[in-house]
Amino acid sequence: GAGVSQTPSNKVTEKGKYVELRCDPISGHTALYWYRQSLGQGPEFLIYFQGTGAADDSGLPNDRFFAVRPEGSVSTLKIQRTERGDSAVYLCASSDRAWRGNEAFFGQGTRLTVV
């Protein structure tokens, strides 16, 4: 498809487990963003990639969170030793800053539930 794709759409995991969330951006988009959205709130920034490098990871809440984008396209958000407070919707967005300025297009999100 032409949009941002995130997998899985839902993930239930036990406290303490490791999870990986995947994002396929729009083809050709060089900028990729991860956000986290808690119930009743707006999305909150986690990390931004320009190409393969993390240009800004100031939103990652602690060192249990890590993200990679090794080939400048697909990105994976990794969460170690999950806690119940990590439960949220994790959103990925991409943009082609060369054409659309700062406009970002979002995927449908991965709903993570830690039990």
Partner 1 sequence: GQQLNQSPQSMFIQEGEDVSMNCTSSSIFNTWLWYKQDPREGPVLLIALYKAGELTSNGRLTAQFGITRKDSFLNISASIPSDVGIYFCAGSDSWGKLQFGAGTQVVVTP
Interacting residues toward partner 1 by CB under 8 A: 4, 6, 31, 33, 35, 40-45, 48, 50, 55-56, 59, 91, 93, 95, 97, 100-109, 111
CB of 114 to partner 1, least distance (A): 19
CB of 34 to partner 1, least distance (A): 11
CB of 16 to partner 1, least distance (A): 25
End-to-end Cα spacing for the chain: 32
Strand partners, 66: 78
Please identify, using beta-carbon distances, which residue of 76 and 108 lies nearer to partner 1: 108
Which candidate, 32, 30, 98, places its Cα nearest to that of 68?
32
Q: What is the Cα–Cα distance from 34 to 67, expressed in whole angstroms?
A: 9
- Residue 17 tokens read as 């487990």
Please identify, using beta-carbon distances, which residue of 14 and 40 lies nearer to partner 1: 40
Please identify, using beta-carbon distances, which residue of 12 and 55 lies nearer to partner 1: 55
Q: Which residues contact 27 (CB under 8 A, 6 or more apart)?
A: 2
Please identify, using beta-carbon distances, which residue of 21 and 109 lies nearer to partner 1: 109
Q: What is the Cα–Cα distance from 71 to 5, expressed in whole angstroms?
A: 17
